[in-house]
Amino acid sequence: MLSNTITNDMKLDYIKTKNREKLGEYYFQQGLSFLIDKEFEKAYEFFKESLDYITCDCSFISLIKKNILPINIFNDIENGKVNHHQYFFVKGMILSYCDKKEFTYLALESIEKYLTKENNEYGNYVKAKILLSLEKKDEALEYFKTALNLSNNSRLNYRVGRYLCEKQDESGVINLFYSFIENPSSSCCLRELHFGIKSNLQNLKTSLESVENNLVEKFISSNSWLASNAYEKTYLAQIEDIKNIKIINDFLSFLHYNKCVILNKTDDIEEIYRNKYGIDKYENFEDSFDDDNGSSFNDEYYDDNLDMDQQSPEFWDSL
């Protein structure tokens, strides 16, 4: 039985507040419900959808733990008749969140089988996460960068930026900044961004709108965890009190106002980012969080106006 932590009403609230982290959790939760029934093709689509929304998928671990999966859920012999590349992606992704080394190696084996059929950003991302678990950090970075070249998005910029900052490479702040601008609902990304610029916090300037903003005050004066926790609480509270919307917007304006200070650059930041890691196409991240960042399926039966669980039988039959 699936433990439903996010209801449809909550989903509507998250859409209103553009909370992509919670929407990612919602779609991951839907994927788990199909996984429990061994409907791997449907679970596959929902898991990809969840990754399209979310920046940091650390919350997926708790969602898995809240739901008891059947012990034989990934029996390769029993599941031999399913669509193999979808099955192996689901298996690799779910097992990648387990902390037992034996499952980590099974996850690696599965995602490598998936990548022989579908060499996309999802597979490269999962493989990079698995390699991180195996302490193969430099190799993981290469797969994160490969995925980033395939799809320039908040989740991949977050992972690349976080890793670079952990290596004391200040260029990672560029990735983290644009990751957060694309998805400002990620408190994890804000925390890593704060950590990456902690030596430069005293140089941040307040604009007229942010003078009395408590989030700005905490960002400048608090540690990374306190700043990100305060931000997350305020972001979630937007639906309850309209005043919090202005607080969030003023805080985001504060970050834009300090863009050059945060990135510690005086030259063309966009040009730097455009050329970073061989990325050919630069997208304007400052505008992107006003767009619908959900993905569409290249399927004649898929209806963009419907959620995944509302798609027609013809769509599911066509997978």
- Tokens matching residue 101: 């080394």
Distance CA(245)–CA(276), nearest Å, equals: 33
Position 266 pLDDT exceeds 90: no
pLDDT in tens, 216-255: 999 998 899 999 999 999 999 988 888 899 999 999 999 9
Position 8 pLDDT exceeds 80: no
Rounded to two decimals, the pTM is 0.80
Higher pLDDT pick, 308 / 137: 137
pLDDT at 289: 36
pLDDT in tens, 39-65: 999 999 999 999 999 999 999 998 988
Residue 172: what residue type? G
Burial-class residue 125 by CB neighbours within 10 Å (0-12, 13-18, 19+): buried
The answer to whether the beta carbons of residues 104 and 98 sit under 8 Å apart is yes
Higher pLDDT pick, 48 / 300: 48
Domain regions of the chain by residue span: 187-276
The arithmetic mean of pLDDT across residues 285-314, rounded, is 50
CA quadruple 11, 89, 56, 148: dihedral positive or negative?
negative
Give the rounded percent of residues in the chain with a pLDDT score beyond 90.
60
Position 294 pLDDT exceeds 90: no
pLDDT at 206: 83
The answer to whether the beta carbons of residues 90 and 35 sit under 8 Å apart is yes
- 177 φ/ψ sector (left φ>0, alpha ψ -120 to 50, else beta): alpha
pLDDT at 165: 94
Spatial neighbors of 202 by CB under 8 A, at least 6 apart, are 220
Distance CA(200)–CA(98), nearest Å, equals: 37
Burial 216-249 (b: 16+ CB within 10 A, else e): bebbbebebeebbbbbbebbbebbeeeebeebbe
pLDDT in tens, 164-173: 999 999 899 9
pLDDT in tens, 140-197: 999 999 999 999 999 999 999 999 999 999 899 999 999 999 999 999 999 999 999 9
Give the rounded percent of residues in the chain with a pLDDT score beyond 70.
76
Q: Which of 133, 288, 128, 264 is nearest to 196 (CA)?
A: 264
Position 286 pLDDT exceeds 70: no
Q: For residue 168, which phi and psi values (nearest 5 degrees)?
A: 65, 25
Distance CA(302)–CA(95), nearest Å, equals: 29
